[in-house]
Amino acid sequence: MKSTFLTRLPITLFGIPAVIFLLSEGGMIFSGFITIVIFLCLIEFYDLKASSGSRPNKFFGIIMALITCFMYIQFPNSNAVILLSSFTIIIILSLLFEMFSGHQNPLDNVNITLSGVLYVAGLLGAMIALRNWDSFNGSRFTMAMIFSVWVCDSCAYTFGMLFGKKKLIERISPKKTIVGFIAGIIGSFLSFYIMDSVGFIQIELSLSQLLILTFIVGICGQLGDFVESMFKRDAEVKDSGKILLGHGGVLDRFDSLIFTSPLVFIFVSFL
Amino acid sequence: MKSTFLTRLPITLFGIPAVIFLLSEGGMIFSGFITIVIFLCLIEFYDLKASSGSRPNKFFGIIMALITCFMYIQFPNSNAVILLSSFTIIIILSLLFEMFSGHQNPLDNVNITLSGVLYVAGLLGAMIALRNWDSFNGSRFTMAMIFSVWVCDSCAYTFGMLFGKKKLIERISPKKTIVGFIAGIIGSFLSFYIMDSVGFIQIELSLSQLLILTFIVGICGQLGDFVESMFKRDAEVKDSGKILLGHGGVLDRFDSLIFTSPLVFIFVSFL
């Protein structure tokens, strides 16, 4: 317990200010950061499946992920024809590569390659578009989302450990409790409520808007965590990677944001 | 041999004029036809994998395929935010559904669901956009592509059967020969050359443009056929379906067009 806390500490101490700095810088610095995160998450996602014998094509997957990030950087003014051309050509090339390679289970390999791009880059990449939308607002909205995810995770962890008994979905995640899940939702609501009241989020939000954000971060974010647990369980591994000391892999750290980022971006697009 | 010819005949006699009629009508009638074809192909694609124990989610797959068709109908003026919202929500819902369902191999099920949409609807759907682009041209360009695919297939089949000995990639398709493959390429070139010379394609094409089209139809189209054979081999079935008497499934009939349609659409977009 203590050793986990201590190994986690350096990443936490360095990570939080680093993310705040990158967020407030925005532009190509933040887009580049998210692109690197997507790159690392995608590699971990592919390695999860590789550990159970499949052979996703990392090369084509990464190229498609880069195109997706590029689309989000220009969103919604991307050139539809160039996007379509790039995706079509990469999909066809990856199918042909699989055919000529003579690997076992070619269809599975292509399926993993393509769906990894949709799951990781398609969903998480929306954070680039969200931050770009947020420019006029000093990136406060994106920061509020990330803070709320952190508060939600911490509340779920702490209250779950202290008071949680009944498990939520034991089959998928043997540690997560109902108490923790509810504490996460309340934590997420309170964090948004406080940030809104003190004027941190520079846009004034109605109660129903606060509740939608709570639904996205408190419920969908935690479910994103569950989905990633399901992937790991499927691959029979504990952590998605080891790159972040004590925090597991990059995918473990960004699993909630994979669900919350595109949903919050959709929310602000209709604001 | 003879019986195959006889069972094929009704579909051929009915199919060719029907396709020409639908093409010349264009608009929502043709878009609707291609949407139905995509629906049938997607079901066959999912059934291929279901035969080897996976459980793709047909419901979410079909909804995403419909959204893709809708995108192609409006291409390139689709509303990016609405497209992104729909895809994001369906991807998240299909992940959550898989998590709560408790099926075996949840990740594989999601992977097949998503990549089926990309392979079938993402690629074949481009024919809708191609036909819409072709409206000013009396749909002659789209017709020329389909005729050339038919000529290519017939030449490959006939010359392969009469003179073909050496197999091209026996591991994947034990029937396709090198002679057939080359005959298909030549047939595709000649068909485009003749249709261009007699003015059937109302746009005048240069020799290099004819060669690009030959590459797309003669080479990529036949490779599309191979890729579908790879899928069937993977699933250990002979035909993708039985809906078309003697012609196998719908996916068997449209396998070349899955590769040629998006590539020809990209070609005309840069024309």
> What does the block give as tokens for A196?
């809104």
Dihedral over Cα of A205, A209, A211, A216: its sign: negative
Residue A219's CB: how many other CB atoms inside 10 A? 17
Which residues in chain B are closer than 8 Å to A85, comparing Cβ atoms? 266, 269
- In this prediction, residues B208-234 reach a mean pLDDT of 93
Helix (H, G, I), strand (E, B) or coil at B246: coil
CA-wise closest residue to B261 among B216, B212, B208, B214: B216
Which residues in chain A are closer than 8 Å to B108, comparing Cβ atoms? 108, 111, 234
B150-197 pLDDT, tens per residue? 999 999 999 999 998 888 888 888 888 999 999 999 999 999 999 999
Q: Chain B neighbours among A 2-61 (CB < 8 Å)?
A: 48-49
Beta carbons of B156 and B229 less than 8 angstroms apart: no
Interface contact B123, partner A, CB < 8 A: yes
Helix (H, G, I), strand (E, B) or coil at B270: coil
Does the beta-carbon distance from A114 to B118 stay under 8 Å?
A: yes
User: Which pLDDT does position B106 carry in this prediction?
Assistant: 87
Beta carbons of B64 and B83 less than 8 angstroms apart: no
Residues of chain B with pLDDT > 70, as a percent, come to 93
Long-range own/partner contacts, residues A216-219 (CB < 8 A, 24 or more apart)? A216/A259, A216/A260, A216/A263, A216/A264, A216/A267, A217/A145, A217/A148, A217/A149, A217/A152, A217/A188, A217/A192, A217/A256, A217/A260, A217/A264, A218/A148, A218/A152, A218/A184, A218/A185, A218/A186, A218/A187, A218/A188, A218/A189, A219/A185
User: Which pLDDT does position B107 carry in this prediction?
Assistant: 87
**Lowest mean pLDDT, pick from B1-5, B65-69, B81-85:** B1-5
Residue that has been written with the tokens 């299909």 in this structure: B94
For B66, B139, B249, the CA distances from B242, given in Å and listed in that order, are: 23, 30, 5
State yes or no: pLDDT of B242 exceeds 70.
no
**Lowest mean pLDDT, pick from A51-55, A71-75, B8-12, B228-232:** B8-12
Helix (H) or strand (E) holding A116: helix A106-116
Residue type, A102: G
A238-252 pLDDT, tens per residue? 776 666 655 568 898
State yes or no: pLDDT of A221 exceeds 50.
yes
Complex ipTM over 0.85:
yes
Band (B243; pLDDT cuts 50, 70, 90): low
Band (B5; pLDDT cuts 50, 70, 90): low
A155-181 pLDDT, tens per residue? 999 999 999 888 888 888 888 899 999
Q: Which residues contact B267 (CB under 8 A, 6 or more apart)?
A: B212, B213, B216
Beta carbons of A228 and A176 less than 8 angstroms apart: no
Does the beta-carbon distance from A80 to B76 stay under 8 Å?
A: yes
Helix (H, G, I), strand (E, B) or coil at B57: coil
Min CA distance, A3 vs chain B (Å)? 32
Range of the domain at B166: 2-269
Residues of chain A with pLDDT > 90, as a percent, come to 64
The separation between the first and the last C-alpha atoms of chain B, rounded to the nearest angstrom, is 43
- In this prediction, residues A121-135 reach a mean pLDDT of 95
Beta carbons of A194 and A158 less than 8 angstroms apart: no
By Cβ distance, the residue of A110, A118, A269 closest to B91 is A118
Choose between A23 and A3: higher pLDDT.
A23
Band (B232; pLDDT cuts 50, 70, 90): confident
Q: What letter would DSSP give residue A242?
A: S
**Lowest mean pLDDT, pick from A5-9, A115-119, B156-160:** A5-9
A42-84 pLDDT, tens per residue? 999 999 888 878 899 999 999 999 999 999 999 988 888 999 9
Give the span between the Cα atoms of B89 and B34, in whole angstroms.
25
State yes or no: pLDDT of A268 exceeds 90.
yes
User: Which backbone phi and psi does B221 adopt, to 5 degrees?
Assistant: -60, -45
Return the axis-axis angle of helices A2-25 and A27-50, rounded to nearest 10°.
140
> In total, how many domains does chain B have?
1
Residue of chain A minimizing CA distance to B49: A107
> What does the block give as tokens for A43?
């590699």
- In this prediction, residues A34-45 reach a mean pLDDT of 96
Helix (H, G, I), strand (E, B) or coil at A2: helix
Residue of chain B minimizing CA distance to A91: B119
Average per-residue pLDDT for chain B: 90
Q: What is the DSSP string of A43-103?
A: HHHHHHHHTTT----HHHHHHHHHHHHHHHHHTTS--HHHHHHHHHHHHHHHHHHHHHHT-
Band (B137; pLDDT cuts 50, 70, 90): confident
State yes or no: pLDDT of A7 exceeds 70.
no
Q: Chain A neighbours among B 177-206 (CB < 8 Å)?
A: none
Which residues in chain A are closer than 8 Å to B105, comparing Cβ atoms? 234
Beta carbons of B92 and A220 less than 8 angstroms apart: yes
Interface contact B1, partner A, CB < 8 A: no
Radius of gyration of the CA atoms of chain B, in A: 19
Does the beta-carbon distance from A108 to B106 stay under 8 Å?
A: no
Strongest mean pLDDT among A253-257, B31-35, B172-176: B31-35
Choose between A165 and A195: higher pLDDT.
A195
Predicted TM-score (pTM) of this structure: 0.90
User: Which pLDDT does position A86 carry in this prediction?
Assistant: 93
Dihedral over Cα of A227, A232, A235, A241: its sign: positive
Does the beta-carbon distance from B110 to A108 stay under 8 Å?
A: no
For A11, A55, A149, A159, A181, the CA distances from A168, given in Å and listed in that order, are: 29, 33, 19, 14, 8
Give the span between the Cα atoms of B24 and B18, in whole angstroms.
10
CA-wise closest residue to A214 among A184, A179, A188: A188
**Lowest mean pLDDT, pick from A8-22, A104-118, A155-169:** A8-22
Which residues in chain B are closer than 8 Å to A91, comparing Cβ atoms? 118-119, 122-123
User: Which pLDDT does position B4 carry in this prediction?
Assistant: 61
Radius of gyration of the CA atoms of chain A, in A: 19
Interface contact A158, partner B, CB < 8 A: no
